[in-house]
Amino acid sequence: MALEPDDEALAAALLARQRRALAKAITLVESSRPDHRLRAQSLLDRLLPHTGKALRIGISGVPGVGKSTFIEAFGMYLLAQGLRLAVLAVDPSSPLTGGSILGDKTHMERLSQQENAYIRPSPARGALGGVGHQSREAMLVCEAGGFDIIIVETVGVGQSETAVASMCDVFLLLQLPNAGDELQGIKKGILELADIVVYNKADLDPRATAVAAGQMKAALHMLRPASPHWQMQVLQASASTGEGIPEVWAVLQSYRDTMQQAGAFDERRKHQAEAWMWHLVEAGLQERFRSHAAVRAALPQALQQVADGHASPATLATLLLDAFRP
């Protein structure tokens, strides 16, 4: 689809690095209105040649690990290196109202005031892992806006960190040194997605942090690495003092260089783009299925029969799928 004149002007302003245009473009791609979705798709096609140059970093961790504080300290360090940073901070949404607090800007007050930083709180809206199509498409918009580093901060409640790993170049997991055993149930699956593990708040208990990091390094042989070209690195840092932040950036650069030299960096992005296309196909099919006139007519009776136990879910699913056929 050809861009409307207003959207063509929006694309030009975004490529000229105008912050207002950036905010308007992300608002458009986050909209769920059908007409806005069509406009957003056309806008993204227009911007696509100008995307792909940023390093995409996914950051997750359990609540209380200090994600926002770490991102602010890390972001301030990146700005000091002359880089431009965009942070897509995903807030948990209420399952009842769909609303979000969107408080990450207050958690990153210093960073939000910097000219070369942009923080965009975004509601999770029930997306698994806290990352939906809004985050992925907003990331492309930020790249077109000339940002060098894109950070996606997930909700971090152990839902499915596969979501952030499937859209970023590198996945960084923040850990607490004194977390105890209550996280063991979710830890292994998330750790196998992680490229870098950082024990945050190291200044509070240096000894405990060193012990926890040492135990993690010793246990690496039990984990399958996310990539055959990279051995997961375990680091210690303190967002409040800045200790360890330069080392985190050095390891991230090492990761990018290693993966690029192995040809795995671009290959990973190709697989991510293909997987995302199929995800959108599946989501679109489900949406069309639910809105199909014959399906909507048959659905109330089918749901009642399932609830009453008069027919099996498999039988009724087949009935609805048959109704969906042209």
Per-residue pLDDT of the chain (326 residues; tens, 9 = 90+): 678 899 999 999 999 999 999 999 999 998 888 899 999 999 999 999 999 999 999 998 878 888 999 999 999 999 999 999 999 987 655 444 344 444 455 578 899 999 999 999 876 554 444 455 678 899 999 999 999 999 998 866 555 567 778 889 999 999 988 765 434 444 566 777 889 999 999 998 999 999 989 988 888 877 777 788 999 999 999 999 999 999 999 999 999 999 999 999 999 999 999 988 998 899 889 989 999 999 999 999 999 999 999 999 999 999 999 999 76
Phi, psi of 163 (to 5 degrees): -60, -50
Distance CA 247, CA 143 (A): 25
What element of type H or E holds 86? strand 85-91
| Residue 29, amino acid | V
DSSP structure string for 220-271: GGGS--SBTTBPPEEEE--TTT-TTHHHHHHHHHHHHHHHHHTTHHHHHHHH
Torsion angle, CA of 57/61/63/64, rounded to 10 degrees?
-100
The total of other beta-carbon atoms located within 10 Å of residue 139's CB is 25
Distance CA 128, CA 162 (A): 9
The pair of three-digit structure tokens given for residue 223, joined into one six-digit string? 């984990």
* Residue 247 half-sphere exposure toward CB, CA atoms < 13 A: 15
| Residue 93, amino acid | S
* Residue 68 half-sphere exposure toward CB, CA atoms < 13 A: 20
Name the residue among 58, 62, 68 with its Cα closest to residue 179.
62
